[in-house]
Every structure is written in structure tokens, then in C-alpha cells.
Amino acid sequence: MLTPLQTGAARFSSYLLSRARKVLGSHLFSPCGVPEFCSISTRKLAAHGFGASMAAMVSFPPQRYHYFLVLDFEATCDKPQIHPQEIIEFPILKLNGRTMEIESTFHMYVQPVVHPQLTPFCTELTGIIQAMVDGQPSLQQVLERVDEWMAKEGLLDPNVKSIFVTCGDWDLKVMLPGQCQYLGLPVADYFKQWINLKKAYSFAMGCWPKNGLLDMNKGLSLQHIGRPHSGIDDCKNIANIMKTLAYRGFIFKQTSKPF
């Protein structure tokens, strides 16, 4: 049974949406084909006293998930490639599925154990120097902290729908399960389904981004954020691309196949 307070809140939300419809007219549920249109809509709502949260509700179509967990590993590497590769940067951005804004960040560096010394090629590619990984937690310890962060953020609640998002399938199809198998560590179930942003972008735009984030940013006329192959900066670019696609009416769906 709804309490009087809940009933009142529901009526107030309905009233706000009704007002928003009147402000934007027939454009309210039209696809946001370009970011400029959504910006105009947001400014129009603001001029009538609506806050940012209401503007976001109007600008974005409903997504299938409450949260998107944007992830991008960096790992030990060299030419020719070393084996096994080991994760050395583990960033996650918690993206609100309604507003597409970043709500929380998990970011840790990881101590490699098989090849503890980073190669010059790895440092040049990722920007990660030896001092950034020396003395850092092992992958097992970082995975434990990820689980603690997931619980703290309410992401383990069965009523909360969340999914990881990566630029490609490598991070969660190859890198994490491969290193966990090598170390004899279990892989949490929440790492076993994800959205490959390259596939999502190709569905939305009709072309495959051969050069990954660089092509996607270019195709959407977005400025690249930070340093290429920095895990945390790559996550910020992924989040920005997702937000732009959502503005255009794209609904994100799981692309990975069940394990």
C-alpha cells in the first residue's frame, strides 16, 4: 500500500512531466538526433524552472539498466608480446543509466607478479611507470576491493540492474578470465556479461570503428579526453561516447554471449 507521502510524490512527478510536455510540446518524445537539440531542450526547460535532473529525464530515453560500469584494463605488454599478460590498471566508472552521468569511480593500480618489471614499450604505451605498480595490491586483493566497492555502491542488490561496458571484448572475454585461470582465482558472475561499445557504436552509426575510441570520438565530433591507453582516461572517453549515443536515442543492450 502506498503511503500518503509516496502518493504525493508520484502525483508531483506526474505533474512535473505534464509541465515538461507543455514546455517542449510535440518534441518531448522525438528522438534526440543531435546533441544541439537536447541542449536546446535542456535550456528551454531550465528557463521554465526545471532542474538538471528533470532535463536529463526528458533528454534521455529509458535505458534497460540502472547503471553502466565502464571498465578498461591496462596490462603488461611488449613487442613481441609477453605471456602471460597481467592487469596493471583497474578502473571502473559507475554511470547512471537515467542521466548518463558518472556517479562513482573505482581506480587502482595492480602489482604484476610474473613479469614484475614493466617494459619500456609498456610505459610508453600506457604512461604507467614502475613506481605506479611497485608495492600495489595483487590482482586477488584488487578483485576483493572491487567486490567491496560494488556492495557499497548498491550494485549487488538483485533489484539493481547493472552491466559492464568495455571498448571491445578483450577485457572481460580474454584478459580477466585468462589471468584468473593462470592464478587459480574465481571470476565473479558480474564480470561475465558486458556491452562491447564498438558493437553498440556500429549498431547506432552503421559503421565499424576500426581504430576504437579515436574513430568513435571522430564519428561523433567529440574531443578525445586525456591520454590514449590510460585506463581511467579511456573509461572517461567510453562514458562520453555512451552519453552522446544516448542523447541520440540509442538503447544499450548486452552484446556478450553467455559463458
The position carrying cell 518531448 is: 28
Catalytic entry in 74, 86, 89, 153: 74
CA angle 82, 87, 88 (to 5 degrees): 105
Q: Of 86, 89, 153, 229, which one is the catalytic site residue? A: 229
Residue 50: all three cell numbers together? 526545471
> In one letter, which amino acid is 92?
I
Cα separation, 93 vs 101, in Å, equals 10
Place of cell 581506480: 107
- 229 among known catalytic residues: yes
Assess whether 224 carries a catalytic annotation.
no
How far does the chain reach from its first CA to its final CA, in angstroms?
Answer: 41
163 HSE (CA, 13 A, CB side): 16
Q: Which amino acid is at 80?
A: P
CB atoms within 10 A of CB 210: 8
Contact present, 197 and 166 (Cβ < 8 Å): yes
Residues catalogued as catalytic: 74, 229
